[in-house]
Chain A
C-alpha cells in the first residue's frame, strides 16, 4: 500500500493554509495508548509456571486417556471381511466376471458368534477399504442444486460423466457419487428369527430436510452404459432415500465405514447370527475390500484405542517433563533477572562485534 499520499500532500502548497502566526502546538496528546504504556500483564516462563503447566496437562490428560481407553475397550465390535469369501470358488480367479455378471448368484450366507454382550442399538456398518471417496473427481461429481429441489433438475453441469443418459435426458441424482451407490444388502437372523435392521435416523436429519428434496424423485438412474452400483426406487423421493444420503456424505479417508442400519435389540454373548449378504458391489475391479461391521457405541464413538493411548502418552510425557524440569531446576537454578548474566557484564568485550 502506498504511503505516498499522506505525505505528498503536506509537501506542497497546502501548507499555505496554515498560518505560521497562529502557531498551534503540534505536541502529541499524552495517553497511555499512544505512548504504548497500556497496563499489561507480562507473563514470563518461570520454572514454577512451566512445571505447573506440565503437571496440569498431565493431570488432565491421564484421566481422559484412561477414560477413553476404557470406553473404547467396552465397545464390542464384530468385523467381518466378506469380499473374498463371498465369491464362489469357481470364480476365484475371475472375480470381476462374477461380480459383473447379472446371472450369477450373489447371495452369500455367513455365520458368526457374538463374543460379548452387545447392548442395543447395535450399529451395522459396511466398511470399504481403498475406496477414495475423497478423490477430487469424485467429490465434485454431484449437483446439490439438483438434489435439493425439482427445479434444479437440469443443473447437471458438475455431474459429468454421469450427467445425462444417451439421449440427453438428465439423470437424477446425477454424478459419480450417486452412480456408485453401495448396493450390498445384509439380512440378519438369529435362531431362525429375523433380526430387524432399522434404517431410521441413519442419515443426518439436516441432510434429509435441507439437502435432499422431498419432491425430487430418481429419474433415469443407473440406465446408462455402465451400472455403477445400487438402483433407486423411482417412487420414493430423495429425502427418504437414506442409503443414498448416507453414501453421499462422502468419507474423509480411503478407509471408511458407512452406517447401514441399526439393530435395536440387544445381542447376547455367544449368540449365533446368520447374515445373508447380497454381494453386489464391485470392489474387485480396484482391489477394494468390503467388511461388515457390527458395533456398539460409547461416548467416545466406536472402538478406537488410539485416542486413549495418545492421551495417556502425552499426559505421561508431560509428567515426565515436569519431573525433569524440577530436577533440572534443583540441580541448576538460575536467579531470574540477575543483571550479572547480561552479556556485557559476563564478558566486557562481548558486545563488541
Chain B
C-alpha cells in the first residue's frame, strides 16, 4: 500500500479524470522550466487607453480582453488573502502546480503560434459538407452507453474477464471439459461461471439501458441551426461540425462551439457551467468583433477555423480563425462548451467545432475512481493461504492416490472397480501411466476443491457494497438541504475502509467553513471600524434609478460611524481615504453585476457574480456603504456613489496571481485623473508600499491585521496611488506591448504589473469572516474521541488557521502548541529536533498521553503542532520527513497552514507511507484534489467551489459534519459487516471442501463426490449465498444512537477487530471441526450399512447447508424479517433443490432423498452433526462474549438492557448533532 508515488502525478487510481488534472500541470511545468519559474498566470487584459465610452473603442480589443473572467484561478479574486493556492514558486521550489487552471493563459499565449496542420482540425464555417468531407468528424449524437444490442454479449463478456477471479473460474471450467478430468458433468461445471457472468451482465445491461434512454432523450433535443440561410430546428444528433447554431437564453449548448456573435453589442455572452465544473456563477465568453455584426441570415460568413484536436481540457482551447482574409486567434474565452447554459444573453450564434463524443464534456465524462479496500488487501493474504491450502489438499490426495495405485499395481487390470484392461480392444483403457494418472488426479482435485477459493465472495462483496451504498445514499442524516445534495458513493470498492480511518486530513475553507464570506471589519487609514460597539442590523442600502429601486442581493452589517463618514463625503483627508477605500473595493475586482427582477416590479435586485467569494463579499460591503457597482462592461464600470452615478474607465487590469499575491486595476476617473488600486495579501502589500508613509498608520494597520487574523478573519490590504501622465504613458505602452506579445506574454504582463504596483499608499484593510459550518466543532470532537487524528491543511495564514482551530475545537487552551516556522533546511532540522524533545518531555511528564479526550478529568498536556508551508518545503521529500512524522505522531493535533495543493498530497503521503493506518482526506476545492486522490479514502464536499474535488473523490457529501455519520455509523457498520462476511465466506466454502475431501479419503483417493454435482455447484450460488449477502447489507451490531454517543466504539475498526489473522485461523479451526462433525457422524452411523452414495450425499449436503446457515444465524445480531426470510428460506430452498435434483430420473441419485428421508437414522444424523458442529463455536462465543467482552459487545448489551442511557448521559456530554437544519 505504501507506495512511493511521484507527487507530480497524484495517483494512478483515477484513470480518466486524472488526465484532466495532470495535463495542465505538466504543461505548466514544461513552460516554467523554459525560464519562467512559477508562471501560470498571464494577463490577457488589454484595454484601450484611449479611454472611452465609445463602443467602437472598446470593440477594438474586446476579443482578447477579458479572459480573466472566463477561467481564472479560483483563488484569484480574493487577492493576497486567499492564499489557498500558494504556488510552489514562491516557496522557492519546483514550479509545479496542481489544478487544471494554471495553464490557461499559457495556452492562450501559445495559441498565437501556428497549429501545425497535422495536429489541426479545419472547420469551414457554415459549410458542414466541406468540413466533413475530408475527415469524418464525429456527429453530434452522443453515446454514453457501452453496448449495442449486438455487441452486448461479446463486449460485456470480454470486459468481465478482466478480473482474475473469473479467469480462475474459466480455467477450472475448461479443465473440466477435458475427458480425462471431467469430474463434474460438463454442463454443471460451467454453471457457477455462467451464473456470475449473467448476474453481472444483467446488471450491466440494465445500466446500459438507462444510458441508452438518456442518450435518446439527449440526442433528440432540438436546437436551431442555420440551414439555407435560415435558422431551423434540428435534432441535436443531426448537428454537424461546421454548422452555425443559434442558442437562446437559458438553452443548453448542444456541442462545443466558437462564438461568432451575441445579442450584446460588445459580443459578450454569459454562460453557466454548472453542468461542466459545478460552478454556478456566470462566466463570460466573447465573440470576436470581426464576426460580430455579420447577420447570418443575409450575409454568408465564410471562414476557416483551424483548431486543436479534441482534448479533455475544459479550460483550454487554441485555434485560429480566418475571416475576411484576417487571421484571428481564438482562446478558451471564445468557445462555449456542450452542457453549458446561456444566461443573461438573449441569443448567441456560434459555429460547431467539436460535436458529440469529441466535445470536452463528453471527453471528461469519466467513471468513478476505483480503489481497493484495505480489507480486501488483507483478504488477499488469506486467499493466498487458502490457495496454498488447496494445493496441499490436492497434493495429499495425489500422494495417497499414488500410494494406492502402487499397492494395487498388480491388480489394476481386472480389479472390478478399476479394470484398466479393455478386453474387447486389447489395450489399456483410460490409463496413461502412473505419472499422468497422478497429474490428472491433482488437476481433478483442484476442480473438485475449487470453491476453496471463494470466487463467489467477490461477487457477494460487490453486491453487499452496492447495498451498503444504497443505504448510505438514502440516509436522511447525510442529506444536505442547503445544497440539496445527497450523499454520493462514487467508489464502490472501499465502503469498509470507512470503518478503519485513523487520520483525517481536512481542508479548511469550504470544508470546515462554509466558504460564504461575510464582510466583518475594516480598518481605514489606521482606524479600526469594528462596528462591534453598536452594530446595527443591516438595513440594506438601495438607490433609486429611473423610479426603480435597486438593491444589492445581500445585506451587510455596517458600522454606523463609518457609514456616516462615507455618506458625508467631506473633503477632509479622512473622508477622501474612506472614499478611495470603498472605491477600491467596488472597482478592484472581476465581479459582474447582474440586475434581476424581483416580484416587486419597482424593485430590482443586483446580484454580484464572480468567482471569488471574497470579492463578492467586498463588493457587497462597498455597496452597503453606498458604493454600488452597477455595471461592468469591457471598458468601463459604473458605480453608484451615494446616489450619484459615476463612470470609471477601466484602463487596465492586472490580475491576481500567486506570485504577486495581489491584483490591481487602473482606473480613469471622471476627474481625468488616473489611479491604480491594488488589493492583496498583507505580506505582498507591505513590500510595495511607499516607504515615506506615515509609520503610525502603517503600524496601526498592521496591528489591526493581526487582530483580525487572530479572530479567524481573512484579511486583505488595499492600497492605491495616482499615476502621473508620463508614468501612465510609460505603463500603457509597455502594457500594450506585453498584452500583444506572442511569446511569454504572462511573464511580460507580470513585469508590467510589478512595475506599476509600487510606492503604494495603504488605504486600509478589510476582514472577512469565513463562517464555520454547522456542527463542525462537535464533529471534530466526536472524531477525536473516536481516536481519529484530525489534521487540518489550509492555505490560510497561521493566525487565521489557529483561530479557526480554536473555534472548531481542534485546538484547546490546554494544549501546548509547537510552532514550526522556518526558512531553511537547517533551521527546520533544528526546530524539529527541539520539538521532538519537547513533545517527549511533555508526554512523559504527563505520564500517558490521552488525546482522545475520552476522560476529561485526567488530561495530560496534549501537544498541537503548527507548521507552515515554507517549512514543509524543506521537510517534505527530504530526510526530515521521518522526524516530522515522529513528531506528528506524538501530537494530537496537526495544523498545516500556507500549504500548496501538492504539499497537501505530500503530507498525506508522509503519513500513508509510514503507517498501516488508514487515511482520509476531505476537501472541497480543486486544490484538494491531489490530497483526496492520495489518501486511502477521499471525500469531496460538494459545496461552493465546483465539482473537481467531488469528481476526484470516493465519497461526496454536503457538509463536513456528515463525516461523523459516515465514519462512526456507516463506516463502523460496513466494516463490521464486510469483515464478518469475508470470514464467513471463507468458512462456508472451506467446510464444503473439507467434507468433499474427507470423502475422497474413502474412495481409494479418486475424486468421487457423494454430493451430487448439481448440489455442489448450487452450494455457493443458491444454498448459502443470499443469507450472507443480506446479512452483509443489513446486519447492524449497534444502533446509530449508540455509535454516535460513544465514538470510542469506532476503535473496533481501527484495531481490526472484525477481521484479522487470528480470527481467520480460529475460523479455520472451527471449519475443520465442523466438517469433521458433518462428515464423520453419518459415516460412522452408516458404516457397513446398505446406504447408497446418493443418499449419503444428500445427507451431507443438507447437513452442510443447515450448519452453515445456522452458524450465520448464531452470528446475526439483528433479526428482522428479511434476515428470517433469507436464512430459513435458504434452508427450505436447499431442501426443495435437493428434492428436485433427486426427482430427475437421468441422475444417478434418483429418488434417493425420498427413500432416505423415511428413515429415522437420516434425521438423527442430521440433527447430531449440526448440533455437534455448532457446539464448540457456541461455547467459545459465549465464553468470549461473557467473560472477555469487547466494547461493542458491552454496548450491545447496554443497548438491549437499557443501561446505556442513565450512565451514558451522566458520563459524556455529547454535543448533539442535529438533523439537517440549516439556515
Contacts and interface: CB of A to CB of B under 8 A. Distances in A.
Interface of A: 1-9, 11-17, 20, 23, 25-30, 34-36, 38-45, 47, 50, 53, 57, 61, 64, 68, 125, 127, 131-139, 142, 144-145, 148, 160-166, 176, 179-180, 204, 206-207, 210-211, 224-226, 228-229, 249-259, 282, 285-286, 299-302, 304, 306-307, 310-311, 314, 317-318, 321, 325, 328, 332, 334, 336-339, 341-345, 348-349, 351-352
Contacts, number: 393
A178 B1049 CA distance: 66
B548 interface: no
Interface in B416-433: 416-425, 429-430
Nearest to B338: A13
A122 to B, nearest CB: 15
Contacts of A301: 1089, 1159-1161
Contacts of B849: 349, 352
B479 A28 contact: yes
Interface stretch (B65-73, B261-269, B388-396, B1148-1156): B1148-1156
Contact of A134 (B1003, B1089, B1201): B1003
A342 B481 CA distance: 37
A256 B1168 contact: no
A250 B1204 contact: no
B1051 interface: yes
Given A47-B1186, A144-B1146, A131 B367 contact: no
Contact of A13 (B275, B475, B486, B1187): B275
B916 interface: no
22 contacts: A16-B341, A20-B280, A26-B486, A36-B1034, A38-B1034, A41-B1118, A42-B1117, A134-B1008, A136-B183, A136-B1007, A137-B419, A138-B417, A139-B1093, A148-B1145, A163-B424, A166-B424, A226-B414, A249-B1094, A257-B1088, A285-B411, A351-B787, A351-B854
Contacts of B1197: 44, 336-337
Contacts of A300: 1160-1161, 1164
Given A64-B1164, A307-B1164, A11 B365 contact: yes
A339 B1090 CA distance: 59
A42 B1182 CA distance: 15
Interface stretch (B103-111, B209-217, B508-516, B696-704): B209-217
Interface in B843-871: 848-852, 854-855, 858
B492 interface: yes
Contacts of B1051: 343, 351
B339 A16 contact: yes
Given A255-B1088, A337-B1200, A12 B365 contact: yes
Interface string B1076-1109: 0000010111111111111111000000000000
Given A4-B368, A16-B252, A225-B423, A134 B1118 contact: no
A40 B1181 contact: no
Contacts of B1187: 328, 332, 334
A163 B361 CA distance: 69
B1006 interface: yes
A348 to B, nearest CB: 4
Contacts of A6: 207
Given A134-B1003, A339-B1211, A351-B1051, A253 B1204 contact: no
Contact of A164 (B207, B210, B424): B424
Most buried by A among B210, B411, B485, B1120: B1120
B1194 A341 contact: yes
Interface stretch (B92-100, B466-474, B925-933): B466-474
A165 B422 CA distance: 10
Nearest to A21: B250
Given A13-B339, A225-B424, A349-B849, A257 B479 contact: no
Contacts of A135: 417-418, 1003-1004, 1006, 1008
A42 B204 CA distance: 37
Contacts of B479: 26-28
Contacts of A40: 1036, 1118-1120, 1123
Nearest to A176: B419
A310 B1165 CA distance: 10
A27 B1008 contact: no
B847 to A, nearest CB: 9
A302 B1002 contact: no
Nearest to B339: A13
Nearest to A228: B416
Contacts of A304: 1085-1087, 1089, 1161
Contact of B1090 (A148, A165, A251): A251
B185 to A, nearest CB: 10
Contacts of B1092: 249-252
B848 A352 contact: yes
A206 B1158 CA distance: 14
A270 to B, nearest CB: 26
A314 B144 contact: no
Contacts of B1151: 204, 206-207, 210
Nearest to B340: A16
B570 interface: no
B274 interface: yes
B1093 A251 contact: yes
B1121 interface: yes
A45 B855 CA distance: 30
Contact of B275 (A15, A162, A211): A15
Given A148-B1145, A229-B416, A310-B1081, A286 B367 contact: no
B1208 interface: yes
A11 B365 CA distance: 6
Contacts of B463: 1
Given A40-B1123, A163-B424, A314-B1168, 4 more contacts: A50-B1186, A161-B424, A337-B1197, A337-B1201
